[in-house]
Amino acid sequence: MRHDTKGLIDRTQRRSFTFDGNSYSGFKGDTLASTLLANNVHLVGRSFKYHRPRGIMSDGTQDPNGLVELHQGDQITPNLRLTGQELVNGLDIRSQNHLGSLDWDLLELNDLLSPFLSAGFYYKTFMWPKAFWEKLYEPIIRRAAGLGRLSMANNSDRYEKAFAFCDVLVIGSGPAGLMAALTAAEAGAQVILAEEDFIFGGRLNSETYDVGGTSGHIWAAEQIAKLREMDNVRLMKRTTITGAYDGGTYAAVERVSHHVAQSGDAPLETFWRITARGCVYAAGAMERPIAFQNNDRPGVIMASALRGYLNRYGVAAGKRVVLFGNNDDTFRTAHDLAAAGIHIAAYVDSRADADITGDFPIYKGAHVTNVKGRKRVEAVTITGAGDVMADCLGVSGGYNPTVHLACHMNGRPQWNENIAAFIPTPNMVPGMEVAGAAGGTFSTHGCLKSGVFRAREVLKALGLEARAPAIPKADALQTRIRPLWMVPCKGRAWLDFQNDVTVKDVKLAAQENFKSVEHMKRYTTQGMAPDQGKNSNVNALAVLADATGRGIAETGTTTYRPPYTPVAIAAMGAHGQGAGFAPQRFTTSDKISRDMNAPMIEAGLWYRPSYFPKDGEGHWRQSCDREVAMVRSAVGVADVSTLGKIDIQGPDAGAFLDFLYINTFSTLKPGKVRYGLMLREDGYVMDDGTTACIATNHYVMTTTTAAAGQVMRHLEFVSQCLRPDLDVQFISVTEQWAQFAVAGPKSRDLLAQVLDEPPDLPFMGCGEVSVGGIKARLFRISFSGEHAYELAVPARYGESLFKGVLDKADALGGGAYGMEALNVMRVEKGFLTHSEIDGRVTAGDIGMGAMMSEGKDFIGKTAAQRPGLLEDREELVGLKPVGAVKELNAGAFLFAVEDDPIRETQQGYTTSVAFSPELGMIGLGFLKNGRERHGEVLKLVDHMRQVTTRVEICHPVFLDPEGSKARD
Amino acid sequence: MIDLVAKSPAAGLLPVTVGASTLSEQPVTQIYSIAPFKGAHVSTALKKAVGLGLPNVGGSKSEDGVEILWAARGQYFLIGAKPPPLPAAITDQSDAWCTVALTGENTDHVMARLCPLDIASMEHGDVARSLVGHMSAIIVKRKGGVTLMVFRAFAKTLVHDLQTAMRSVTAQATLPD
């Protein structure tokens, strides 16, 4: 319930949300957790395995129980943390992981079966029969266990990624972080102060003590105001640093708009990569529970959280409170609660010599042994006092410094007996200094001092001089503690609330010889839930240490890995969602092609027209057939700008090409073009294309669209690493030129109308021409087998040229053709694409073994001679259907007619198929020793589509094998 | 004969202003790549012809509307003038690039969403090859903004990505505390 006067909430701004359909109201400054507690709601979820009722346990984002679903339209955000989500009007929050309602969860049956469901139960039980695991056991177990659900709808939320840079990154804005930020800022460093919470100040906002003679939270606000005024300081709240990586890189998630109902164009979250020259890590400490029977009942809450809810939110989590602790810090809770008029039914300290006084019953040297009540604490059993009526139990087992980030580079923290906790080992993350409670300094004064000292250490390493600011006056008392991990009991005492791991489970692990802490973790699943063991790791390993007779230091911790808190995959994958996955490259003819209703197909990052449908054409084949016939009988125009074009110049340009290609280019004369094939270093084919000699020592290499980037990279590697002796320079000119294929028997006529002078080029010739006075390049090359050209103009004129050429082609009975027709014609001619040269074929496989020059060295030459690459290869062949079934499919496999179509009898496969208007279905493929087998009839089996076709093996060039059409 | 009409890479897409940032296309001008051959000294001849020698790695020089950028290893872009014959590989790159200017006080914040570089620490005239979104880019720091060059065919994605970041940054500035 709400306390009348306390809290940092804004009582003038009332807000409400719904939880499982019930409306609850709170104020600006509330979290969902504080709002629920203010409305006396403790039961917020069901546990992972046993479906036990669970309540809010802490006031930080590590809370293991307060995980819920946020519903927005068709979206569900699972595992939202009640303790981290600010209260926003209208949020639709629902509890998760139950069958039936939260109140009546049918799967609570599991809790009754718990004697059978201890750690290792699944491993032992679901072993037999083997086939049952996948089909029966796993689906049932998965249904019963688990946390939030996804809606399975596309994620419509906006996420963002961003980069930031600073000299000093300060993580955490409690007393240590604030002093560190002030020290670094005043020294002139560029500072980023990151705070997970939505107000700065860390623990100071949850405590009542003074700093510098004023209330802690007011002092914190004053320091923030001071920092805000400084140009060299960037304040980032709602920002969790989630990982420490190499080179001073830190990952961070900023919850940009979780706190507003309508975010407009702002993202929900931003995933930051912060590069910092130095870092002060001041993330504080987390209170840990004590394991005793039924310590997981709703209403059992961390002692510090109890006063945190009171001081920061003005919320009393109970009317009759019992406190149970093993350290002096728990006194603060007692005093704050008592001062606020909350009834303390008992104060239980496990230490007989505890130094506490107060106006409430105090039991020293006593334990809480059990909690009564199922969905809410009803009574607490205390040794020596029996059952004490209470509706809330505050627990403190001491504090664990938040060592996580300091350990992210595989460092291990060290055990400190004085505070009974692990503290960071120095220098585990280069450039990081750990300050305040994260380093094991728990007094406020100590934290303030530590912040200054650690910041100065960081600044010193950066070569910056820092004045020591005055340390404000604050409490210097070091809290005393005597370790208490568990209270022996017959029932179950919980360690990991999120994964339902008990003291018994850990002992069982040890008993079954899973004694290493890493083994215990895997055996019990302790520490493997969304909180990653923040509430349970140290307690569990202390129990393990006890069970194995080792010390805690010797037992050690498991590995701390990023992320520190769960990070939405959508945040890490921001900019990669939907079309953001890859940038788009559009040709200069793109708009005209789309205006002609051409469906576009992706080629690498490019978009190319598949075909250009005309009126009355209802099927792509009709358009494609028409386009093929058009090119073969008149003239067609296709945008081929997407092919890679690399300009190569230099005294050694010819030698460079000779080294790259299997055939010789240094002999190519200016004005001539040659087809070339290049291998990878392993002897397999990398790419093919034509290279034109523009002038002496000046070439333009053409690559396939898909491999343009790969070939460019290859050229860089060869030039920089393999042949730095060669004097050659090269640069991509792909985008400089808009290039169009003009193919067909009327191509020359068409160009005569387009160019300022009629073309006069021999086959495989090239030269400079002009179009409307603009200098252009003309190549007489053919990928269709027709008399054909490629005309290149500076890209700014591309659209205009395409339009002009199409207008004139129309009068000749010609027009535009797309990728489908282009593909049909190249299959008819047996020309190759990356369907054939897919990285697994050799020059010999595609019938070009003889092109490999003997008189020079080239990349892949030696490797191409190795055993396995020469003999018994699958070779390029043509395929024609000869039976009743005419269907050919790419990707289908070849078998002898009499063989079973199984892997062992497979003899080859198809790579490309096409319907040739002239020849019917034809295909290209690879067949074992295929060149010698022309005329053989085989069976082509497409297992996917269940099609079997009889095919005759033939030469891969179906049309005009002499190439006379292209040459004429 | 055909009369050819020039079209700029981002025609119809720019300029755009969102909040305090403006994105505009730079006019298509002459761009030539210059990559000196081994041991060749081109600065003197270049300076004589166009008034500028080669800049340092990561730098640029400009004068009277002519600019020369370091563009890659051993490679420079001369903008706004045609180079004389030089002992270097020279190619016409005038049509290969979409060049845009991002200006306004939000420039660094917008760039932080798309580029892994610390734009704020660059000096005016500094040049870097890096990424803008998923695209390889030439980035030139300017007084009051940056100039970005990506391959011409990326124009639409470049404008889309920058516009999205501009909107986001502008929207974030208006969110309640």
Q: ∠ CA A482-A486-A490 to the nearest 5 degrees?
A: 150
In A466-534, beta strands by DSSP E = 494-496, 501-502
CB contact under 8 A, B157 and A584: yes
Query: Contacts of residue A263 in chain B, CB cutoff 8 Å?
Result: 171, 175
The answer to whether residues B116 and B105 touch, using CB atoms and an 8 Å cutoff, is: no
Output the pLDDT for position A120: 73
Output the pLDDT for position A130: 75
Assigned fold of A589-642+736-826: Gyrase A; domain 2 (3.30.1360)
Per residue in A897-948, pLDDT tens? 999 999 999 999 999 999 999 999 999 999 999 999 999 999 999 999 999 9
Interface of A with B in 408-467 (CB under 8 A): none
Query: Contacts of residue B89 in chain A, CB cutoff 8 Å?
Result: 647, 649-650, 729-731
Output the pLDDT for position A80: 92
Indicate if B150 and B106 belong to the same structural domain.
yes
Mean pLDDT of chain B: 96
Give the nearest partner residue to A260 out of B91, B165, B176, using CB atoms.
B176
CATH 3.30.70.1400 range(s) for chain A read 644-732
Q: Which domain holds residue B120?
A: 16-28+96-173
Q: How far is B72 from chain A (nearest CA, A)?
A: 10
CB contact under 8 A, A800 and B176: no
Q: How far is B36 from chain A (nearest CA, A)?
A: 8
In a domain, B112, yes or no: yes
pLDDT (average), residues A738-752: 97
pLDDT (average), residues A272-276: 98
Per residue in A66-82, pLDDT tens? 999 999 988 898 999 99
Output the pLDDT for position A857: 96
The answer to whether residues B55 and B47 touch, using CB atoms and an 8 Å cutoff, is: no
For residue A601, pLDDT over 80 is answered with yes
Query: Contacts of residue B33 in chain A, CB cutoff 8 Å?
Result: 731
CB contact under 8 A, B175 and A260: yes
Q: How far is A757 from chain B (nearest CA, A)?
A: 9
Q: Is A556 left (phi over 0), alpha (psi -120 to 50) or beta?
A: left
Q: How far is B45 from chain A (nearest CA, A)?
A: 19
For residue B130, pLDDT over 90 is answered with yes
The answer to whether residues A516 and A526 touch, using CB atoms and an 8 Å cutoff, is: no
Give the nearest partner residue to B172 out of A266, A587, A647, using CB atoms.
A266
In a domain, B111, yes or no: yes
Output the pLDDT for position A145: 63
For residue A119, pLDDT over 80 is answered with no
pLDDT (average), residues A714-739: 97
Q: Which token pair is A397?
A: 């087992």
Nearest 10 degrees: CA dihedral of A354, A359, A361, A362?
0
Output the pLDDT for position A107: 78
Which of A265, A719, A723 should one mutate to test binding to chain B, selecting the residue with the greatest count of B CBs within 10 A? A265
Residue that is last in its domain, among B69, B92, B115: B92
Indicate if B126 and B154 belong to the same structural domain.
yes
For residue A269, pLDDT over 70 is answered with yes
Indicate if B87 and B103 belong to the same structural domain.
no
B173 phi and psi, to 5 degrees? -65, -20
CB contact under 8 A, B175 and A771: no
Write the CB contacts of A956 (distance below 8 Å, at least 6 apart in sequence): A830, A847, A876, A877, A878, A924
Query: Contacts of residue A650 in chain B, CB cutoff 8 Å?
Result: 37, 89
A702 phi and psi, to 5 degrees? -105, 135
Per residue in A383-441, pLDDT tens? 999 999 999 999 999 999 999 999 999 999 999 999 999 999 999 999 999 999 999 99
Selection from A74-83, A494-503, B51-60 with the highest mean pLDDT: B51-60
CB contact under 8 A, B116 and A273: yes
| B142 touching A (Cβ < 8 Å) | no
- Distance of alpha carbon A40 from alpha carbon A22, whole angstroms: 13
| A593 touching B (Cβ < 8 Å) | no
Alpha helices in B43-154 (DSSP H): 43-50, 107-112
Q: Which token pair is A328?
A: 């002096």
Residue that is last in its domain, among B71, B92, B113: B92
Q: Is B65 left (phi over 0), alpha (psi -120 to 50) or beta?
A: left
| A754 touching B (Cβ < 8 Å) | yes
| B77 touching A (Cβ < 8 Å) | no
| B85 touching A (Cβ < 8 Å) | no
CB contact under 8 A, A774 and B156: no
Indicate if B50 and B85 belong to the same structural domain.
yes
For residue A108, name the pLDDT band (cuts at 50, 70, 90): confident
Output the pLDDT for position A135: 80
Indicate if B149 and B113 belong to the same structural domain.
yes
For residue A770, pLDDT over 80 is answered with yes
| A264 touching B (Cβ < 8 Å) | yes
Q: Which token pair is A873?
A: 């290869």
CB contact under 8 A, B4 and A161: no
Q: How far is A772 from chain B (nearest CA, A)?
A: 5
In a domain, B4, yes or no: no
- Distance of alpha carbon A648 from alpha carbon A652, whole angstroms: 10
- Distance of alpha carbon A403 from alpha carbon A422, whole angstroms: 8
pLDDT (average), residues A686-709: 96
For residue A864, name the pLDDT band (cuts at 50, 70, 90): very high
Indicate if B115 and B169 belong to the same structural domain.
yes
Alpha helices in chain B (DSSP H): 43-50, 107-112, 155-173
Per residue in A510-536, pLDDT tens? 999 999 999 999 999 999 888 889 999
For residue A144, pLDDT over 70 is answered with no
Per residue in B85-112, pLDDT tens? 999 999 999 999 999 999 999 999 999 9
| B86 touching A (Cβ < 8 Å) | no
Please state which of the four CATH numbers 3.50.50.60, 3.30.830.10, 3.30.70.240, 1.10.3720.10 is assigned to the domain occupying A159-285+401-461: 3.50.50.60
CB contact under 8 A, A733 and B176: no
How many domains are contained in chain B? 2
Please state which of the four CATH numbers 3.30.70.1400, 3.30.565.10, 3.90.1200.10, 1.25.40.10 is assigned to the domain occupying A644-732: 3.30.70.1400
- Distance of alpha carbon A821 from alpha carbon A629, whole angstroms: 9
In a domain, B43, yes or no: yes
Query: Contacts of residue B4 in chain A, CB cutoff 8 Å?
Result: 771-772, 774, 793, 797, 800-801, 804
Mean pLDDT of chain A: 94
| A561 touching B (Cβ < 8 Å) | no
Query: Contacts of residue B175 in chain A, CB cutoff 8 Å?
Result: 256-257, 260, 263, 266
Beta bridge partners of A902: none
CB contact under 8 A, B176 and A584: no
With a pLDDT cut of 90, the percent of chain A lying above it is 87
Indicate if B47 and B116 belong to the same structural domain.
no
pLDDT (average), residues A164-191: 98
- Distance of alpha carbon A311 from alpha carbon A93, whole angstroms: 25
pLDDT (average), residues A335-362: 95
Q: How far is A164 from chain B (nearest CA, A)?
A: 7
In a domain, B9, yes or no: no
Neighbours of B133 (CB within 10 A): 22
For residue A564, name the pLDDT band (cuts at 50, 70, 90): very high
Per residue in B114-126, pLDDT tens? 999 999 999 999 9
CB neighbour burial string for A882-910, b if at least 16 within 10 angstroms, e if fewer: eeeeeebbeebbbbeeeeebeeeeebbeb
Dump the DSSP string for A326-357.
SBTHHHHHHHHHHHTT-EEEEEEES-TT----
Output the pLDDT for position A140: 76
Output the pLDDT for position B85: 96
- Distance of alpha carbon A920 from alpha carbon A905, whole angstroms: 28
Residue B109: closest C-alpha in chain A: A162
CB contact under 8 A, B95 and A754: no
Residue A581: closest C-alpha in chain B: B134
Give the nearest partner residue to A729 out of B89, B92, B167, using CB atoms.
B89
Interface of B with A in 40-59 (CB under 8 A): none
- Distance of alpha carbon A296 from alpha carbon A177, whole angstroms: 33
Output the pLDDT for position A146: 65
Indicate if B123 and B137 belong to the same structural domain.
yes
Chains A & B: contacts with CB separation below 8 Å = 158
Residue that is last in its domain, among B42, B77, B92: B92
CB contact under 8 A, A160 and B117: no
Beta bridge partners of B101: B24, B147
In a domain, B3, yes or no: no
Closest C-alpha to A220, from A198, A237, A205: A205
Superfamily of domain A872-967: Aminomethyltransferase beta-barrel domains (2.40.30.110)
- Distance of alpha carbon A622 from alpha carbon A634, whole angstroms: 17
Per residue in A227-244, pLDDT tens? 999 999 999 999 999 999
| B97 touching A (Cβ < 8 Å) | yes
Closest C-alpha to A661, from A427, A857, A424: A857
Indicate if B62 and B122 belong to the same structural domain.
no
Beta bridge partners of B149: B99, B138
Output the pLDDT for position A454: 97
pLDDT (average), residues A625-654: 97
